[in-house]
Structures are given as C-alpha cells and as structure tokens.
Amino acid sequence: MSGDLLFVPAALVPAYRCSSTVGGVVRGLRAHVGEVLVVDDGSRDGTADGARAAGARVLERPKNGGKGSALRDGLADLLMREFTHVAFVDADGQHDPDDLPALLATARGGADFVIGSRLKDAATMPAKNYWANTIGDKVLSRMTGLPVEDGQSGYRVIAAGLLRQLRLRAERYSIENEILIKAAPRVRRFAAVPVRTIYGARSHYRPFRDTWITSWLSVYYKTLDSDAS
C-alpha cells in the first residue's frame, strides 16, 4: 500500500459509462496509491470489467443513481478501513492521474481538504466552464468562509477523519458542494493545487445549468447543517 504508517491514501472513482477511459485512469492512479475503488453507477457498457482488468476493486450499483450516490457508497466502504485520506478522481479522463502526487503531497503536509484547481491555468478552460466555476466559487466562499477555488472540481484529497464526520445526502453533482459546505466548519487547513484538465473527454456535467442547481442546493445543505449542529 502506498505511503507510510501515518499516511495511507486510497482513490475513489465514481464511474458511469466510462468503458473507454476508466482503465487508463485506474492504471494511472495505481502508480500513486495502493487502493483504487471504482463505483460503477449502473453502467451497461463494460465499465466494471475495464476497471477490474486495470487493477481496481469494483463496487457495482444495480442501477444509475447519480454521482453523489456512487460517492456515498464508495465512502461507506473506504471509511470503514484504515485509510487516512481519500482521493476523489473522475473516471471520464478529464483528470490526469499524474497530478495526484501534488495533491497527496499537500495533504501529507497537513492540509485536510485539498482541491485540484483547474483555474490556475484559466486560458485552457472553455469560457462557459470558467464563468460557471467562478460564479459557483463566489457562492461557496461566502457560505463557507474558505478561499474556495474551483469548488466544482471533483479532483480532491480529503482526510478520512474529516469525511467520517459528515452526513451526506446528495445523489448527484451537488455532492461536491455538500462535502465542502459540511466540512468547512471542521477544516483545519484548506488548499488548492493546480491540476490539468483534459477537455474533449466525455462529461455528463452541464456547466451553467448544474452550477445553478448546485448553488441553490448549497443553500439547502448550509441550512440543514446549521439546524443539525
């Protein structure tokens, strides 16, 4: 297993109809972590078989329930084990596994919430994605009190101890905002690390529509978390 006795990360990869990309993602991640868990969210295209062939452990959901549902199932598995950190990586090929060591190094250095930010090199990002993310970041920064940068990024490394304190409910893309909002009062050190994004890979995310939805859901999660505290 990658790491030392005090730093043992695992990668969590939600996947839906990613048979052409998931194998490369898994092989890339296995160069940096000892455990890669792929949650196949009801695919029917060989995604699970491709992930296993590349060396991942696979959980198969019987039907598609959304990214949030897949991540919650994966976390329920990983957080029962002795991993110290969870790396969140998408299966569609937009995240470069070779950027993971930089996120892991920042986490090893003491940051308990690390976001892989695509905004460090905004010139490479399609304009609609850049402006949608910028709007979302303003909302999230105001709500969390953290200097959020690229809060919509699914590329993250988060301490397992922090994740164990969260009660997550989201079923779809708002899971990223929910994690950030509910973790914010408990975060000791927050960091953003530059990552590359490989545009052109198939994505189920719709920038403006999904940013609007997740921003409104963020208000809901913030209120819900305040009521529970």
Q: Which of 209, 180, 208 is nearest to 192 (CA)?
A: 180
Strands 57-61 and 85-88: unpaired
What domain range includes position 130?
Answer: 9-228
Confirm whether 215 is domain-assigned.
Answer: yes
Confirm whether 2 is domain-assigned.
Answer: no
* pLDDT beyond 60 at 14: yes
The residue that leads in pLDDT, 138 or 25, is 25
Confirm whether 1 is domain-assigned.
Answer: no
Number of domains forming the structure of the chain: 1
Q: What integer best gives the mean pLDDT of the chain?
A: 86
Confirm whether 170 is domain-assigned.
Answer: yes
State the Rg of the chain over Cα. 16
Confirm whether 122 is domain-assigned.
Answer: yes
CATH of the domain at 179: 3.90.550.10
Q: What is the pLDDT of residues 130-162, one digit of tens each?
A: 656 677 778 788 888 999 998 889 999 999 999
Confirm whether 3 is domain-assigned.
Answer: no
Strands 156-159 and 85-88: antiparallel
Q: For the residues of 141-206, what is the DSSP string, one character each?
A: HHHHSS--SSTT---EEEEHHHHTT------STTHHHHHHHHHGGG-S-EEEEE--B-BTB-----
Confirm whether 151 is domain-assigned.
Answer: yes
- pTM of this structure: 0.84
Residue 81 pLDDT: 97
As beta bridge partners, residue 159 has 85
Confirm whether 211 is domain-assigned.
Answer: yes
